[in-house]
Amino acid sequence: AQRVTQPEKLLSVFKGAPVELKCNYSYSGSPELFWYVQYSRQRLQLLLRHISRESIKGFTADLNKGETSFHLKKPFAQEEDSAMYYCALMDNQGGKLIFGQGTELSVKP
Amino acid sequence: GAGVSQSPRYKVAKRGQDVALRCDPISGHVSLFWYQQALGQGPEFLTYFQNEAQLDKSGLPSDRFFAERPEGSVSTLKIQRTQQEDSAVYLCASSLSGGAGNTIYFGEGSWLTVV
């Protein structure tokens, strides 16, 4: 079964500390993985996708097929990073997204 | 418009009432998705359209849920005889076409509360 697991509901760090938001997936085939972010009172928006190998707002994520993980990392967290983060897997039949339950990141001053 | 637009933003329905939620995708976007997000959960897929064709409705939780996109643009999600467990945010999303290379853009959601 296709599934995305985000084990942490809440992650709280201080400004300037490193951040790692965990994401594990279950999928048969080559997965397409994404991180979406939802800032307070804003719509869900794409943060980054693994096929682009990009760094957005200092965040990076590496696909580890051996560990079936796609953890999101940032070396120095900023207060404006506080938001809900969702890891998502794209189904290769039609392109629907399968989301994890989300991790709330709280960056304290 | 600038983004995916949904209406109403907030809806309170009495149990047993029918509701209709509207989605205006980004102009020219072929693919349109509906998701349901319960409190404290991630979005869950409901249904998917490519133009006017409903290609996947595997996520619709019961036959009380019905979606349409008759002209391949605006879509409506209808919930008949609402129940308390239908209370959730209903998200609409669109993309230029299917596939991982195309960004999926989300609306702000329609918040449904069934009392």
Question: Could you give all domains of chain B from N- to C-terminal order, each with its CATH number?
Answer: 5-114 (2.60.40.10)
Q: B16 vs chain A: nearest CA distance in angstroms? A: 29
pLDDT of the residue at A54: 79
Answer for the pair A87, A35: CB distance below 8 angstroms, yes or no: yes
Give the chain A residue whose CA is nearest to the CA of B6: A43
CATH class of the region A3-100 = mainly beta
CB-CB neighbors (< 8 A) of A98 in chain B: 45
* Residue A52 pLDDT level (bands cut at 50, 70, 90): confident
Strands annotated E in A39-95: 45-49, 60-61, 72-74, 83-90
SS percent in chain A: helix, strand, coil, step 5: 5, 50, 45
Q: How far is B15 from chain A (nearest CA, A)?
A: 27
Per-residue pLDDT tens digits for A10-32 = 999 999 999 999 999 998 878 88
Cβ-count burial of A14 within 10 angstroms (0-12 exposed, 13-18 middle, 19+ buried)?
exposed
Largest CA distance in chain B: 41
The tally of CA atoms less than 13 A away on the side-chain side of residue A25 is 28
pLDDT band at A92 (very low <50, low <70, confident <90, very high): confident
Residue A30: the pLDDT is 80
pLDDT for B97? 83
**Contact list, A42 vs chain B (CB under 8 Å):** 108
Closest CB to B56 among A32, A94, A97: A94
Residues 6+ apart with CB under 8 A from B66: B60, B77, B78, B79, B80
User: A-contacting residues of B 43-82, CB under 8 Å?
Assistant: 43-45, 48, 50, 55-56, 59
Using 70 as the pLDDT threshold, list the residues of chain B that sit under it. 1, 100
B31 touching A (Cβ < 8 Å): yes
10 Å CB burial of residue B63 (0-12, 13-18, 19+) is exposed
Asked if A86 lies within 8 A of B41 by C-beta distance, the reply is: no
**Cα distances (angstroms) measured from residue B60 to each of A16, B44, B54, B93:** 43, 10, 12, 16
Residue A41's pLDDT is 87
| Residue B100: predicted pLDDT | 66
Question: Strands A10-14, A103-108: parallel, antiparallel or unpaired by DSSP?
Answer: parallel
Model pLDDT, residue B73:
95
